[in-house]
């Protein structure tokens, strides 16, 4: 009997050791799995953070690139406007003086030169308006309302459209940089209407209550918006959208063949 008890106790000790070994092995496996899981999670999180940082860096780079492009574009237009005013304006002045001198020397030519004098005067007015519309500093000082009025006057002189122009804008919601970009968008829209729409009427509405909104509508031939954006001929349209994003302004373009085109530039809470 004593030997049997000893033998039985010996096997009980062996079973106990096996159980402990299994438990410890299981714990080690669980710890290893947990370690692998945590490591995988940390690596995944690190990669996600790196991707976020890369995305932020790319967006920052694109924003800076667009800012530089805008500044270069404005500098170019400023220079071009100044050249128009100084050089071409001077030549037109000299030409008008020459016409006046010819009229004084030859009174019989007054009637003949009357139309030439009229066209020279019109050209001088158009040149002055155009040079102002390209002058960034001038536009920043007069504000969006007067800048659009300047362009409206220029287009009326060109007699391309019948223009309906309404405004109730007090410059409360938009800063000067946004105003300048919005005005350049407006110029691009009008230029597109002149080149492509065959429109006869242009309606413009500018207001800032209860939110800023600029609406430009023509009665031209219209177009398929998405199809045009996907084509190679839509640089002007894409430029409008890009500029509106820079200015943090919503831009909606509604058009269809035969039904004209409407551009809506709006600043709402999503873009503030």
pLDDT digits (tens, 9 = 90+) for 60-72: 645 554 554 555 4
Residue 204's SS3 state is strand
Digit-coded pLDDT (tens) for 204-243: 999 988 889 999 999 999 999 888 888 877 778 888 888 8
Please enumerate in sequence order all residues whose Cβ is within 8 A of that of 190, keeping only pairs 6 or more positions apart, or say none: 151, 155, 202, 216
pLDDT at residue 272 is higher than 60: no
Digit-coded pLDDT (tens) for 88-114: 666 677 777 777 777 777 877 777 777
pLDDT at residue 7 is higher than 50: no
Query: Distance between CA 80 and CA 85 in Å, rounded?
Result: 9
At 44 the pLDDT is 75
- Top pLDDT among 58 and 94 is at 94
Digit-coded pLDDT (tens) for 159-210: 888 999 999 888 767 888 888 889 889 988 998 888 888 899 999 999 988 8
At 246 the pLDDT is 84
At 217 the pLDDT is 95
Residue 158: closest CA among 106, 188, 195, 122: 122
At 130 the pLDDT is 74
The domain made up of 160-272 has a fold known as Heat Shock Protein 90 (3.30.565)
pTM above 0.75, yes or no: no
Instruction: Compute, in degrees rounded to 10, the torsion defined by CA atoms 130, 131, 133, 139.
Output: -160
């Amino acid at each position: 009997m004593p030997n049997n008890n000893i033998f039985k106790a010996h096997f009980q000790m062996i079973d106990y050791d096996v159980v402990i070994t299994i438990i410890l092995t299981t714990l080690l496996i669980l710890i290893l799995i947990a370690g692998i899981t945590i490591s995988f999670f940390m690596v995944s999180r690190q990669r996600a953070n790196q991707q976020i940082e890369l995305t932020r860096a790319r967006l920052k780079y694109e924003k800076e690139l667009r800012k530089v492009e805008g500044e270069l574009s404005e500098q170019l237009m400023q220079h071009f406007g100044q050249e128009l005013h100084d050089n071409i304006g001077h030549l037109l002045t000299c030409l008008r003086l020459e016409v006046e001198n010819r009229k004084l020397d030859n009174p019989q030519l007054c009637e003949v030169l009357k139309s030439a004098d009229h066209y020279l005067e019109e050209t001088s007015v158009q040149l002055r308006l155009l040079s102002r519309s390209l002058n960034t500093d001038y536009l920043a000082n007069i504000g969006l309302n007067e800048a659009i009025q300047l362009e409206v006057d220029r287009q009326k002189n060109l007699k391309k459209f019948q223009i309906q122009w309404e405004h109730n804008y007090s410059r409360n919601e938009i800063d000067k940089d946004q105003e300048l970009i919005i005005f350049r968008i407006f110029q691009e829209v009008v230029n597109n209407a002149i080149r492509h729409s065959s429109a006869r009427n242009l309606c413009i509405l500018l207001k800032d209550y209860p939110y800023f909104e600029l609406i430009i509508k023509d009665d031209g031939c219209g177009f398929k918006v998405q199809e045009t954006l996907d084509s190679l001929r839509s640089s002007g349209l894409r430029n409008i959208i890009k500029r509106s994003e820079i200015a943090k302004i919503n831009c909606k373009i509604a058009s269809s063949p035969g039904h004209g085109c409407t551009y809506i530039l709006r600043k709402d809470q999503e873009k503030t």
